[in-house]
């Protein structure tokens, strides 16, 4: 671990000023950043601790729910507004990590967490994400946890977050602050596919910070479910996870939202499957059909091809739970 400077941010503006300098990074809960620093994957010169900034609020707005970037994962998952309006988000959060980690982890940090790809973590291995141009270790290596959608020749890593899968399904918006003021971006557009620049996980520009997310009100609260399949019952990253939200009226699906985790470089929205479900009856048969539609462009590698069989099963199962059929 390299020696580094540590300072506490006094304001949002001072944070934005500080992170404009290369080598300076925000630290929130530290649960991802510190691990990466210990392994030598990242070596900032200076850390700006933003935990004292007033960005912890969870409030109702005219159109929905606002959650500050520093709200803790544990707090969000137990918040009564969240449980009432967006229970899917609570379920997704609780499926992630462990209670101890969720007590430290923040909403902003969760969005910004890096991939868990072993080749990214081991500095003696090639990795285009960590060191562009060195190659992708996972492509011809141990890729059991890796992407089946949207990968590139450069990178087949997945984004590991559960929370983000919930937020992607719920049409959330990210609020970003930078030198030029605030801007908003659709949550599903926040993370990137790897393409030729796997070193960039998302569209946050240099010198910008996340200050919160907004989730619009919806009719999904009664019929939503987060299902995560993993190698043990808790404290493991998803092999495949699915966030399913349905607006059902008289047995007919008015609207559906589906997103998957553990399958792509970003939370993977299943737009085609959603469309296929709209107007249909909430039956197991229809869920299975939608699941098949979702798998159209899937591509497996040596160790992760099982996901092509697992993912549709998890989609159908999550939808059954959401519809109350289980």
Ligand X SMILES: Cc1cc2nc3c(=O)[nH]c(=O)nc-3n(C[C@H](O)[C@H](O)[C@H](O)COP(=O)(O)OP(=O)(O)OC[C@H]3O[C@@H](n4cnc5c(N)ncnc54)[C@H](O)[C@@H]3O)c2cc1C
Residues that bind ligand X (CB under 6 A): 25-33, 35, 69, 73, 96-97, 101, 104-106, 108-110, 112-113, 160-163, 209-210, 237
Choosing from 22, 80, 124, 297, the residue that interacts with other proteins (CB under 8 A) is 124
Using CA atoms, how far apart are residues 189 and 237, in angstroms rounded to an integer?
A: 23
Longest dimension (CA), the chain: 62
Provide, rounded to whole angstroms, the least separation between the CB of residue 162 and ligand X. 4
Least distance from ligand X to the Cβ atom of residue 229, Å = 12
Angle formed by the axes of helices 284-294 and 306-322, nearest 10° = 140
75 CB-near residues (< 8 Å, 6+ apart): 56, 58
Residue 280 interacts with other proteins (CB under 8 A): yes or no: no
At closest approach, how far in Å is the CB of 306 from other proteins? 4
Which region among 45-53, 80-88, 212-220, 307-315 touches other proteins (by CB under 8 A)? 307-315
Beta bridge partners of 177: 182, 209
Residue 265 to residues 27, 43, 146, 197, Cα–Cα distance (Å): 23, 23, 9, 12
Residue closer to other proteins (CB basis): 157 or 215: 157
**Position with the least CB separation from ligand X:** 109
Place of tokens 């009719």: 219
293 binds other proteins per the rule CB under 8 A: no
Under 8 Å CB-to-CB from 43, ≥6 apart: which residues? Answer: 1, 2, 4, 37
Residues 135-154: x where in contact with other proteins by CB under 8 A, - otherwise, as a string = --x--xxx-x----------
Q: Provide the token pair at 272.
A: 């085609």
Binding-site member from 3, 62, 133, 296 for other proteins (CB under 8 A): 3
Q: Is 296 in the site for other proteins (CB under 8 A)?
A: no
- 3-state SS assignment for residue 30: coil
Interaction between residue 46 and other proteins (CB under 8 A): no
Strand ranges inside 50-88, DSSP E? 58-60, 64-68
The only residue of 317, 319, 322, 323 in contact with other proteins, by rule CB under 8 A? 317
Sequence-distant (6+) residues with CB within 8 A of 17 are none
Interface residues with other proteins (CB under 8 A) are 1-3, 38, 40, 98, 116, 118-119, 121-122, 124-125, 137, 140-142, 144, 227, 229, 231-237, 239, 305-307, 309-310, 313-314, 316-317, 326
């Amino acid at each position: 671990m390299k020696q580094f400077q540590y300072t506490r941010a006094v304001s949002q503006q001072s944070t934005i000023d500080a992170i404009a300098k290369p080598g300076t990074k925000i630290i929130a809960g530290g649960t991802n950043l510190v691990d990466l620093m210990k392994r030598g994957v990242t070596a900032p010169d200076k850390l700006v601790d933003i935990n004292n900034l007033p960005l912890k609020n969870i409030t109702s707005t005219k159109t929905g729910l606002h959650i500050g970037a520093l709200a803790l994962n544990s707090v969000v998952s137990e918040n009564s507004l969240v449980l009432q309006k967006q229970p899917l988000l609570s379920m997704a959060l609780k499926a992630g990590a462990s209670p101890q980690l969720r007590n430290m982890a923040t909403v902003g940090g969760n969005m910004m967490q890096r991939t868990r790809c072993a080749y990214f973590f081991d500095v003696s291995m090639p990795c285009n994400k960590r060191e562009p141009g060195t190659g992708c270790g996972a492509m011809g290596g141990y890729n059991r946890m890796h992407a089946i959608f949207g990968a590139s020749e450069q990178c087949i890593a997945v984004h590991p977050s559960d929370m983000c899968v919930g937020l992607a399904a719920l049409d959330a918006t990210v609020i970003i602050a930078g030198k030029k003021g605030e801007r908003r971006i659709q949550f599903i557009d926040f993370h990137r596919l790897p393409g030729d620049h796997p070193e960039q996980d998302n569209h946050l520009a240099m010198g910008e910070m996340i200050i919160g997310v907004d989730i619009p009100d919806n009719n999904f609260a009664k019929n939503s479910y987060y299902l995560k399949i993993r190698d043990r019952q808790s404290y493991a990253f998803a092999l495949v996870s699915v966030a399913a939200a349905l607006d059902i009226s008289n047995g007919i699906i008015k609207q559906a939202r589906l997103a998957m985790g553990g399958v792509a470089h970003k939370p993977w929205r299943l737009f085609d499957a959603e469309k296929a479900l709209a107007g249909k009856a909430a039956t197991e048969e229809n869920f299975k059909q939608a699941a098949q539609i979702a798998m159209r462009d899937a591509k497996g590698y040596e160790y992760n091809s099982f996901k092509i069989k697992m993912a549709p099963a998890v989609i159908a199962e999550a939808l059954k739970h959401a519809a109350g059929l289980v």
